[in-house]
C-alpha cells in the first residue's frame, strides 16, 4: 500500500489476516495490466445476507475500497469497474458493496473511482459522518479550542493528570469494556488478544495514548496510524469515576500536538453516526467539534447484480 494514492494498512494482508480462520470467506482481488503490472487491489470477503451472496470490501473493517496508484486514469478506472462487475457475476455474487477510503487518507486525488462506480450504476448504500481536524494547517493545539475546553484542560493539568504513550493495553481494555457496557451494553470490536496480535502484526502503527492520575490509568485513546497522513482514533474511553478530571480533553490536546510534530495531516476521531448514518449522536459530535474538528464523509456504494 506504500505506493498507492488511497491505501491504508487496513487493506494489507498482515492486517486482514488477524481475523481467525472461518470468520470470513476471503475473495480479495488483484488487478493487473496485460503485461503483468499490478494496477489495483480490492480487499474483499463473501458476506451472506439471507440468501444473497455479497462481494463486500471489507466486512470487519472501517473501509476497504479499490486501491490504486497515481498512474490509473479514467479509462483504466472504467475498465477496472467493468471487470470487477463481470468477475462478480461470473462467480455468482448477487451484489457488490464497496466501503470507500475517506478522502483525507488520499495522498493524491482518487475520485475517478467514485465517479466510475456511479457511472456504472452503483448507488450509495450508506453515508456515515466522521469528525477530523486538519492538524497540519494549525499553529498549535490551542488554536481552535472553545473556552470551556481550555478550562477543562487547565483543570486536568492542575490536578496532576499526566499523558503518556503506554503499552498496558490490558489496563486500558478494562476501562474500555466497562465504558462500553455502561453506555451502550456493548463490547469492543476487538478482543484484548486481537489488539495485541494487531500491534505485533503492524509494529509502530497502533499506539495507546493514556491519561494517568497518581500512576493509575484513567482514560485513553487507541490510535491507528493508518497511513502517513492520518491518525485514526479507533477507541476512546474514560473511567467514569474520574470524569470530573476532564482527562480526555488534555489527552486530545497532547495528541494533536504529537500528530503535528510527527508530520501527520489529520486527526480523525471516527464516526458519530449510528445505524449506517440514520442516527446522529449529537453529544459525541459536539465533544469532537470542541477541538475544531469538522465533518468527513465515509461512504459505501452498492450494486445489485440479480
* CATH code: domain of residue 115: 3.40.630.30
Residue 279 in any domain: the answer is no
Q: Is residue 277 pLDDT above 80, yes or no?
A: no
Domain membership flag for residue 123: yes
- Residue 156 phi, psi dihedral angles, 5° rounding: -60, -40
Residues 47/54, Cβ–Cβ less than 8 Å: yes
Check whether the bond before 135 is cis (ω within 30° of 0): no
For the segment 132-141, the average pLDDT, to the nearest whole number, is: 95
For CA atoms 53, 301, 135, 250, the dihedral sign is negative
Task: State whether 123 and 141 are in the same domain.
Answer: no
Predicted TM-score (pTM) of the model is 0.93
pLDDT at position 278 is 81
Number of H helices and E strands in the chain, helices first, is 8, 16
CA-nearest of 14, 121, 9 to 65 is 9
First CA to last CA across the chain, in angstroms?
33
Q: Is residue 166 part of a domain?
A: yes
Beta bridge partners of 68: 40
> Has residue 68 got a pLDDT over 80?
yes
Does residue 225 sit within a domain? yes
When pLDDT is averaged across residues 240-256 and rounded to a whole number, the result is 95
Domain count, the chain: 2
For the segment 120-146, the average pLDDT, to the nearest whole number, is 95
Q: Are residues 92 and 144 in the same domain?
A: no
Parent domain of 201:
135-264
Highest-confidence range of 19-28, 184-193, 204-213, by mean pLDDT? Answer: 204-213
Q: Which residue has the cell 474483499?
A: 44
One domain, residues 192 and 256: yes
Q: State the pLDDT confidence band at 120, using cuts at 50, 70 and 90.
A: very high
Amino acid at each position: 500500500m506504500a505506493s498507492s494514492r488511497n491505501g491504508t494498512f487496513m487493506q494489507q494482508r498482515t492486517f486482514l489476516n488477524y481475523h481467525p480462520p472461518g470468520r470470513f470467506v476471503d475473495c480479495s482481488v488483484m488487478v493487473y495490466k496485460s503485461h503483468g503490472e499490478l494496477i489495483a487491489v480490492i480487499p474483499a470477503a463473501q458476506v451472506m445476507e439471507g440468501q444473497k451472496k455479497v462481494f463486500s470490501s471489507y466486512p470487519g473493517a472501517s473501509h476497504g475500497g479499490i486501491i490504486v496508484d497515481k498512474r490509473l486514469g479514467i479509462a483504466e478506472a472504467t475498465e477496472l469497474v467493468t471487470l470487477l462487475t463481470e468477475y462478480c457475476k461470473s462467480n455468482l455474487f448477487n451484489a457488490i458493496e464497496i466501503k470507500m477510503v475517506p478522502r483525507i487518507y488520499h495522498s493524491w486525488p482518487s475520485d475517478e473511482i467514485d465517479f466510475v462506480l456511479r457511472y456504472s450504476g452503483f448507488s450509495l448504500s450508506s453515508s456515515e459522518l466522521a469528525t477530523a481536524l486538519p492538524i497540519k494547517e494549525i499553529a498549535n493545539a490551542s488554536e481552535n479550542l472553545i473556552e470551556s475546553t481550555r478550562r477543562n484542560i487547565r483543570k486536568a493539568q492542575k490536578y496532576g493528570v499526566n499523558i503518556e504513550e503506554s503499552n498496558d493495553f490490558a489496563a486500558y481494555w478494562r476501562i474500555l469494556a466497562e465504558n462500553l457496557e455502561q453506555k451502550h451494553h456493548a463490547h469492543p470490536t476487538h478482543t484484548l488478544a486481537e489488539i495485541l496480535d494487531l500491534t505485533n502484526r503492524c509494529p509502530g502503527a497502533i499506539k495507546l495514548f493514556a491519561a494517568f492520575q497518581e500512576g493509575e490509568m484513567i482514560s485513553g485513546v487507541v490510535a491507528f496510524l493508518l497511513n502517513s497522513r492520518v491518525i485514526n482514533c479507533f477507541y476512546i474511553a474514560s473511567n467514569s469515576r474520574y470524569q470530573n478530571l476532564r482527562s480526555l480533553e488534555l489527552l486530545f490536546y497532547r495528541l494533536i500536538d504529537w500528530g503535528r510534530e510527527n508530520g501527520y495531516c489529520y486527526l480523525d476521531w471516527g464516526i458519530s453516526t449510528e445505524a449506517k448514518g440514520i442516527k446522529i449522536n449529537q453529544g459525541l459530535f459536539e465533544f469532537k467539534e470542541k477541538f475544531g474538528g469538522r465533518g468527513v464523509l465515509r461512504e459505501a456504494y452498492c450494486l445489485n447484480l440479480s
